[in-house]
Amino acid sequence: MWNNLYNFKATQLAAVYEASRIMPYVYLPNTSASLMWPTIQEMIDTNKRLVNFVDAEADITQVPWLIDQFSHIFETPYENLDVDSFDCNVDRIAQEMSPNGMMYVMNHFIYGVIEVGPLKIEVPFKEKATTVNAKDSLIKHASICSLTFQKRPSFIEVDFYTIGDALAVVSELNGVPATPSMLKKSVPVVDNSAIAIRKSNLSPTRHILIENSSSNRNAFTTYVD
């Protein structure tokens, strides 16, 4: 799932794929009006196990396997500044699309803010990753979104996935046991004032926000399969 921040053309991305050994594994979607996604077993049987999405500059006429993300997947808000700000609104989606029937990304990470004169620059907040990626925080957010959209998240995006419980939680939501490599590791978190600055500017499509104000945010139930 590519965040195409610099608006590379689909053919440019395809050229990099074709220069590698990855093309035999690339999944080519059904081009019929009602796109049917493969099951895991079908992907295993055909060995076409790499499904590719891009959030800008998709061109299925030239690169049919590089799929436009926002025609099939919407996102929850990503510009969150604290652990209490996560919600289950529809934040990015193609203009003509309805979220009903689509897959979705649950964005579960926060930014810190560095002030440089009048500028406020958002940066990944590693010092808070242990709290943000904790099981309780992730399960709470996933439970609310599951009730709001009547289905579990298709994708969960976090920062610093080796810190906290993110991989184990994803396994739990899929109803499979976590492997030892997915369990929480003790990772030292160092306060580094020389942190690299990356402006959060992930909006290649027109920004749409659909508020789910009618949902009862307090009526969620944590689930464990």
In three-state secondary structure terms, 171 is helix
What is the count of structural domains for the chain?
2
- Lookup: tokens for 200: 């959060």
- Lookup: tokens for 59: 């061109």
Q: What is the mean pLDDT of residues 111-138?
A: 94
- In tens, the pLDDT along 166-195 reads 999 999 998 888 877 666 554 555 444 433
Which domain covers residue 30, as residue numbers? 1-71
Amino acid at 61: T
- Is residue 210 domain-shared with residue 123, that is, in the same domain? yes
- Is residue 179 domain-shared with residue 195, that is, in the same domain? yes
**pTM over 0.85, yes/no:** no
List the one residue out of 147, 146, 166, 164 whose CA is nearest residue 156. Answer: 166
What is the predicted pLDDT for the residue at 181? 64
- Lookup: tokens for 224: 């464990």
Average pLDDT for the chain: 82
Q: Does residue 171 fall inside a structural domain? A: yes
List the one residue out of 141, 159, 169, 175 whose CA is nearest residue 40. Answer: 175
Give every CB contact of residue 206 below 8 A, 6+ residues apart in sequence. Answer: 95
pLDDT above 90 (res 198): no
- Is residue 50 domain-shared with residue 84, that is, in the same domain? no
- Is residue 117 domain-shared with residue 23, that is, in the same domain? no
- Is residue 142 domain-shared with residue 162, that is, in the same domain? yes
- In tens, the pLDDT along 23-48 reads 999 999 876 545 678 888 899 899 99
Please, what is the Cα angle at 73 between 221 and 68, to 5 degrees? 170
Please identify, among 54, 71, 88, the residue that sits at the C-terminal boundary of a domain: 71
List the one residue out of 33, 73, 32 whose CA is nearest residue 52. Answer: 73
- Lookup: tokens for 64: 């049919």
- The alpha helices in 117-165, defined as continuous H runs, are 129-132, 135-149
What is the predicted pLDDT for the residue at 32? 58
List the one residue out of 36, 83, 220 whose CA is nearest residue 146. Answer: 220
Q: Does residue 225 fall inside a structural domain? A: no
- Is residue 42 domain-shared with residue 121, that is, in the same domain? no
- Is residue 127 domain-shared with residue 52, that is, in the same domain? no
- Lookup: tokens for 196: 């690299």
- Is residue 108 domain-shared with residue 88, that is, in the same domain? yes
Please identify, among 9, 36, 71, the residue that sits at the C-terminal boundary of a domain: 71
Q: Which has more pLDDT, 221 or 64?
A: 64
